[in-house]
Each structure stands twice: as structure tokens, then as C-alpha cells.
Amino acid sequence: MGVRQVASIHFKNFIGKNWLPHEPDEQNKISQADKDVVREHVLVFVTQVPPLLRVQLGECLKTIIYVDYPERWPRLLDWVKHNLQDQQVHGALLVLQILSRKYE
């Protein structure tokens, strides 16, 4: 669990540094294809990981949502709706909480 926690913190820091719309270092540049993969999978993982890791993924989601929603992530609300109906409530509510803070 300790290794997973360190990896999740590293991932959160990497996303925070390199996802923002400013020009990242060439060494750490995230391609659009990589961003698409992250957006596609981060929602799946946020519903499956232990709470200790969910905190870090929540911070990743916050960064990604603030930068990409709704222009580059138009299906996010569809995912929320599906997961609310599919009893994956915790992950869906986490995303709704982040969205509400964005527009607060």
C-alpha cells in the first residue's frame, strides 16, 4: 500500500505540473493522446481504489476537470449519470463535488 500511495502522489504531482494549459517542460510534456487515455481511465480507477489513494486521484480529477471540462471532456456528465444509476455513487458524487466547486 505504501508503494501505491507514493505512486499516486507522484501521479498527482505530475498531472498538476503538466496538465495545466501553460507550456510544460519538453521533458514532461503530456501528449493529447496521453491525456485522452488518462481521462478515459481515471474515472474507472477512482471508483475502485482504496480511500487513501482516492484522495490523490480526486486531486488529479480536480486539475483535469478545471482545465478540460466541458470543452475537452463533454462526456463527463454522462459518466456521472451512468454511475449514479449503476450504484457507483461514491465516484460519481466525488466528480459532482469537484464540478460544483469549479462553478461555485
Q: Taking 90 as the threshold, does the pLDDT of residue 19 lie above it?
A: yes
* Nearest one of 97, 21, 26, 10 to 62, comparing CA atoms: 97
User: Which pTM was predicted?
Assistant: 0.88
What is the rounded distance in angstroms from the CA atom of residue 24 to the CA atom of residue 14? Answer: 11
pLDDT tens digits for 50-103?
989 999 999 999 999 999 999 999 999 999 999 998 877 888 999 999 999 999
